[in-house]
Structure 1
Amino acid sequence: MKSGVLILDKPKGMTSFKVVECVKRRLRVKKAGHTGTLDPMATGLLVVCIGSATKIARFLTDADKVYQGRITLGIETDTYDMDGEILARSPVPESLTREDVQAAADGFKGPILQVPPAYSAAKHNGVPLYKLARKGVTVKKEPKTVHIYDFQITSYEPPHFDFLVHCSKGTYVRTLAHEMGKALGCGAVLSGLRRLRSGYLSVEEAISVQSIMDREPKEIRQRIMPVELVLSHIPSIVVNNRDALFIQQGRGLGLIKVVDYLQEQMAEFKSIKADYLRVMTIEPGGKERLVAIAKWPDFNDHKGRLEILRVWNPN
């Protein structure tokens, strides 16, 4: 398979960029990219798009994430994790219980505002913040809204506690650890992190980076998932070959026609909350093929046209 998605388990100490470079080198491909970076200290799920599949990476980055990790109390660093320079040490209250820690975690559930850490891949005028921070340049970043769907404390052995968090895209778990330290009054840093899930993709399906190094390219390619499978969580319609050709030629599709397809194939479509719509067609052999990804329609705009975000051409 020339293009598709590879599900990897990133080891600790390796950058996401180096993982991608390893994949490119082993598979001898020019184009590859991940759908969401992991800090070097973190392990777990790293989704790598290969070849033409890099065109659909944006539709995978929007997925919510699940992490497990460890937070250490009584320390503050400039990076909000154990790799940074220690700025302060504080005693952890002996009276602090697991229930207290869980109560603090509960306070972060729901929509919250987060400012990216100074040492992060977030960019200012096209330059990653961590590069500016290393030069001593301070940048004021506006807070962004993220959503914490669940935040459970799984164990507490002072000064550490382990957690499981389900959050929206763009959530900085290091910032969450820092804010937990402030809420508990003793400071805190992220001391361990593992990504378990991104959307419906799980680390349980992943292969190790070491296996990429050890296996023959032919074996690795057998683990590449087709784009149609990776995007199967997005609602879809199947259009006839004529309409598929119109879309591929840039002529689009009227919303009246789209509604006709939806009424025939997805009766409950008006109650669905989605960002995107997959447009599929049937090949002569009976296999479904991805034609394009579109913005989920505004059904009040009866005279409008389906907004195509990406026409899929695997070649």
Structure 2
Amino acid sequence: MDGIIVVNKPTGMTSHDVVNKLRRKLNTKKIGHTGTLDPDASGVLVVLVGKACKALQFLQDTDKVYRSSIQLGYTTSTDDVFGEIKEQKQINLDFDFDSVLQSFEGKQRQKVPMTSSKKVNGKKLLEYQRQGIENIDVFNNVEIYSIHSINKDELSFEVHCSSGCYVRSICRDFGLKTNNLSCMKSLQRTQVGRFTIDMAQDLETINSENVIVYPLSMILSHIPRIDYQPIQDVYNGKHIRIDTKYDRVCIYDSNPVAIYDRDHNNVFKCVRGLF
């Protein structure tokens, strides 16, 4: 089995838990996800199986769409309602929800929550937090392409953002912009790149007979396709000559076989076999 499986991850499970369960269900060892989704969050988890695992480094579809909601009145150790309450404050409702949300749009440096796997000096931020160290400021360069309200009464919204963006940071910073304390109340990921929640299968219903496996070519379509002959040279990892303007190409033999980069002139070298 080779390709991409889109899973609708339930709450209460880690991404690693999902992969382990699929490994048993599908009786396969070569399997892994393309990006962690928090245990308390639900939604799209993209899983690579078999030969597709070799293509992870070339994955370009990393922007994401989330649905979330904000809790006002307090902050927590994890910037969501599941953490320990750190500080409380009377709620201020004197703000326009849509206007505040729109102020988040664009490129920015976003402060990474301490409850994250972002590494500093080889150690995850959450490991520092467990040691009682809370004053490490780390920032990601992110972009929020669009953000809008879903339900103003529930302070729920949808956001389309780049890889590395933390929705819990948006919920936390919402409080800073409105003279409030706040954190994230709920989170659902509805899209990762071209893979949407409508394409996702519920984890509990997936088995080896009904699983939907999308082809590897779906995540490599941004790399120009070359149908090369003699194809055996590619399987042997040889340098090949290609007349193309592109510096990176994907060699096909009906299906993707290898990724090649320009070495010099029109000579290309193999950077990753996919077979």
The answer, yes or no, to whether TM exceeds 0.5 is: yes
* Matched residue, 2:51: 52
Counterparts of residues 175-190 of structure 1 (less than 5 Å): 175-190=169-184
1:237 and 1:277 in contact (8 A); partners too? no
Superposition deviation, residue 65 in structure 1: 0.5
Give the counterpart letter for 1:236 in structure 2: P
1:151 paired residue among 134, 147, 170: 147
* Matched residue, 1:292: 258
**Bigger mean CA offset, 52-61 vs 78-87:** 52-61
1:155 and 1:162 in contact (8 A); partners too? yes
1:61 and 1:169 in contact (8 A); partners too? no
1:35 and 1:58 in contact (8 A); partners too? no
CA distance in 2, matches of 1:227, 1:245: 20
1:241 paired residue among 211, 229, 251: 229
1:269-293, Cα deviation, whole Å (9 max, x unpaired): xxxxxxx955233x4xxxx221223
Superposition deviation, residue 236 in structure 1: 2.0
Structure 1 residues without counterparts, runs of 5 or longer = 263-275
State the secondary structure of the residue aligned to 2:136: coil
2:243 and 2:266 in contact (8 A); partners too? no
CA distance in 1, matches of 2:205, 2:104: 38
User: Where is the helix percentage greater, Structure 1 or Structure 2?
Assistant: 1
CA distance in 2, matches of 1:253, 1:140: 49
State the secondary structure of the residue aligned to 1:228: helix
Counterparts of residues 120-131 of structure 1 (less than 5 Å): 120-131=116-127
1:69 and 1:194 in contact (8 A); partners too? yes
**Bigger mean CA offset, 47-56 vs 139-148:** 139-148
2:61 and 2:194 in contact (8 A); partners too? no
Superposition deviation, residue 241 in structure 1: 1.5
Superposition deviation, residue 51 in structure 1: 2.1
User: Where is the strand percentage greater, Structure 1 or Structure 2?
Assistant: 2
1:148 and 1:166 in contact (8 A); partners too? yes
State the secondary structure of the residue aligned to 2:158: strand
Give the counterpart letter for 2:210 in structure 1: E
Give the counterpart letter for 1:112 in structure 2: Q
Superposition deviation, residue 251 in structure 1: 3.7
Superposition deviation, residue 67 in structure 1: 0.7
Counterparts of residues 197-208 of structure 1 (less than 5 Å): 197-208=191-202
1:219 paired residue among 207, 210, 213: 210
CA distance in 2, matches of 1:294, 1:90: 57
Q: TM-score, normalised by structure 2?
A: 0.89
Give the counterpart letter for 2:79 in structure 1: Y
* Matched residue, 1:191: 185
Superposition deviation, residue 40 in structure 1: 1.0
Name the count of aligned residue pairs.
Answer: 275
278 and 74 in structure 1: CA distance in 2 versus 1, 3 angstrom threshold: farther
CA distance in 2, matches of 1:116, 1:152: 22
State the secondary structure of the residue aligned to 2:204: helix
CA distance in 1, matches of 2:58, 2:228: 24
34 and 237 in structure 1: CA distance in 2 versus 1, 3 angstrom threshold: same
Give the counterpart letter for 2:256 in structure 1: L
85 and 294 in structure 1: CA distance in 2 versus 1, 3 angstrom threshold: farther
Give the counterpart letter for 2:251 in structure 1: M
1:5 and 1:47 in contact (8 A); partners too? yes
* Matched residue, 2:272: 310
CA distance in 2, matches of 1:305, 1:125: 39
* Matched residue, 1:10: 9
Counterparts of residues 30-69 of structure 1 (less than 5 Å): 30-60=29-59, 62-69=61-68
Superposition deviation, residue 8 in structure 1: 0.3
2:131 paired residue among 135, 148, 165: 135
Superposition deviation, residue 228 in structure 1: 1.9
* Matched residue, 2:162: 168
1:210-267, Cα deviation, whole Å (9 max, x unpaired): 113xx4x2333xx1222123433x142223223x44444444455x7122xx7xxxxx
Structure 2 residues without counterparts, runs of 5 or longer = none
1:36 and 1:61 in contact (8 A); partners too? no
Give the counterpart letter for 1:237 in structure 2: R
Give the counterpart letter for 2:218 in structure 1: L
1:279 aligns with 2:250: yes
1:38 and 1:46 in contact (8 A); partners too? yes
